[in-house]
Amino acid sequence: MLLEENKAIIRRLFKAENEGNLAIYDELMSPDYVDNAFQFTSLEEYKKMHAKTREALPDFQETIEDMVAEGEKVVVRFKGTGTHKGEWFGIPPTGKKITITGVLIYRIVDGKIVEKVSGIYDFLDFYNRIGIIEYTEKGKKLFPEEAT
């Protein structure tokens, strides 16, 4: 039963983030939360990052594609989409639709998310669309749909 409870916590987290309810962090996450993917060592740092992301991508929605739980850990494969409507780390809004995919591993203890053990993100589409990276001519030929 604990595995299903842990999965429910992660579902609540994703649902709240999709609704822009960032206050849920205090309920679901430990104040000592550690995010190994982005190297945050406190819940406050994590909250600030998500607030900035929400300002840049106000319609950002994450979909859980797969979820597996074992012991204290929950693994999530997700897809996120949104529109770059606000400044993101100094990059002005482009109005472009973006996609981010990834796999996250959370650790939950006593009903609280205490750690993102690992996070593997594919930011390629996002970075390309907002102008951080550009496809080479060879890349445009190999991946014509992605390069537009």
Q: Which CATH architecture has domain 2-142?
A: Roll (3.10)
Using alpha carbons only, give the angle 115, 117, 119 rounded to the nearest 5 degrees: 115
Number of H helices, E strands in the chain: 5, 5
Split at pLDDT 50, 70, 90, the class of 148 is low
Rg of the chain, C-alpha, whole Å: 16
How far apart, in whole angstroms, are the C-alpha atoms of residue 31 and residue 33? 5
Phi/psi of residue 65, each to 5°? -85, -40
Residue-wise pLDDT for 60-89, tens only, equals: 999 999 999 999 999 999 999 999 999 988
Tokens for 137? Answer: 């001519």
